[in-house]
Amino acid sequence: LYRKAVNPPSSTFLLLGPSGSGKTAFLTLLESASSRRSNTAPRTHTSQNATSTTVTLPPSVPIASNQYRSVNDPSLSETKRNPVKYIVKDTPGHGKLRSSQLSQLEAILSSKKEKSPISGVIFFVDAASLSDAAEGLRDCATYLHDVLLLLQKLVFSNQKHVSQAASSVSVLVAANKQDLFTALPAGSIKERLEHEIERIRKSRQKGLMDASAGAASNEDEYEVLGTNGEEDFSFQLLEDEVGTQVSVVGGAVVSEEDTEAGAAIRGWEEWIGARL
């Protein structure tokens, strides 16, 4: 009865984030773990272009769509379960290439023919580079702000299929490099990003006001992340106003004392599994 069906991957996760944050390292780790599970060799990349790869989730990570079955069906042991496949798309983080990542994300979410819709954006952050004084924080928050604002714009699109596609995207901020002792924990990464995004949002709001001589129109409302309210920006506000979920989870792609391989990316894989 057990079929070794080759389920085609149905979900895509897009890796975004500044240069050097660990996107390619993460994909390489997923690939080598996946190929260990299926005995194929991993490939290597350079990040000049976006690359898509199909990887599998470790069987021990629960997935949303068969959580019920896996708990209740004793015939499906962990090793017998089909490895669940998903697509990961790596992108270059260099500042000059970001607008093209954004327009590609917009194109995918606007396409009617897309076979593997985007279930999530994994936004990588080098948690050791976001101290207050660092230019890194500003740069990183600006990129994240622009990604979230694009998603918001698409959620509020009056084309139904676009709005639906964008509404099903959630965002994981992967606070990477937790192995470094200078790395900030996920909680302070979250606070700093929210605070910095609030500053970006304020100056944007002011710019729009100036441009329209004080009379903010309805359209402008959607031009401000989390919409044009009084409240300070937080990821919770974005979820309440727009519906887009943002979670910040710490981890490490490279860990020096690698006790259990992959243990440091478990939180991210669980987030992925919850969306498969």
Q: Summarize as ranges the residues that interact with Mg ion (CB under 5 A).
A: 23-24, 47
Q: Does 180 bind ligand GTP (CB under 6 A)?
A: yes
CB of 51 to ligand GTP, least distance (A): 10
Q: Could you tell me which residues are beta bridge partners of residue 88?
A: 13, 53
Residue 143, SS3 per DSSP: helix
Q: How far apart are CA 164 and CA 157, in angstroms?
A: 9
β partners of residue 171: 121, 246
CB of 210 to ligand GTP, least distance (A): 34
Q: Which of 92, 120, 267, 273 lies at the binding interface for ligand GTP (CB under 6 A)?
A: 92
Strand partners, 14: 89, 121
Q: Which stretch binds ligand GTP (CB under 6 A): 16-24, 107-115, 162-170, 201-209?
A: 16-24
The rounded distance, in Å, linking the Cα atoms of 161 and 249 is: 30
Q: Which CB sits closer to ligand GTP, 17 or 226?
A: 17
Q: What is the dihedral of CA 58, 254, 21, 61, to 10 degrees?
A: 20
How do beta strands 246-250 and 170-176 pair?
Answer: parallel
x-or-dash pattern for ligand GTP, window 189-228, by CB under 6 A?
----------------------------------------
Q: Among residues 47 and 116, whose Cβ is nearest to Mg ion?
A: 47
Binding residues for ligand GTP, how many (CB under 6 A)? 20
249 bridge partner residues: 174
Residue placing its CB nearer to Mg ion in the complex, 47 or 188: 47
Is 254 an interacting residue with respect to ligand GTP (CB under 6 A)? yes
User: Binding pattern to ligand GTP, positions 108-147, x when CB under 6 A?
Assistant: ----------------x-----------------------
User: Which C-beta is closer to Mg ion: that of 24 or that of 129?
Assistant: 24
Question: What is the DSSP secondary structure assignment for residue 185, as one 8-state letter?
Answer: P
Question: Which one, of 131, 137, 133, 46, lies nearest residue 97 by Cα?
Answer: 46
Single out the segment in contact with ligand GTP by CB under 6 A; choices: 154-162, 175-183, 212-220, 224-232. 175-183
* Cα–Cα dist 84/141, whole Å: 32
Q: Is 253 in the site for ligand GTP (CB under 6 A)?
A: yes
In angstroms, give the least distance from the CB of 175 to ligand GTP.
10
Whole-angstrom distance, CA of residue 268 vs CA of residue 265: 5
CB of 145 closer than 8 Å to CB of 130: no
Question: Which bin fits 124, alpha (ψ -120 to 50), beta or left (φ > 0)?
Answer: beta
- Residue 177 binding ligand GTP, by CB under 6 A: yes
CB 272 within 8 A of CB 87: no
Least distance (Å) between residue 47 CB and Mg ion: 3
Using CB under 6 A as the binding rule, whether residue 21 contacts ligand GTP is answered as yes
> Which residues of this protein are in contact with ligand GTP, per CB under 6 A?
17, 19-25, 47, 92-94, 124, 176-177, 179-180, 252-254
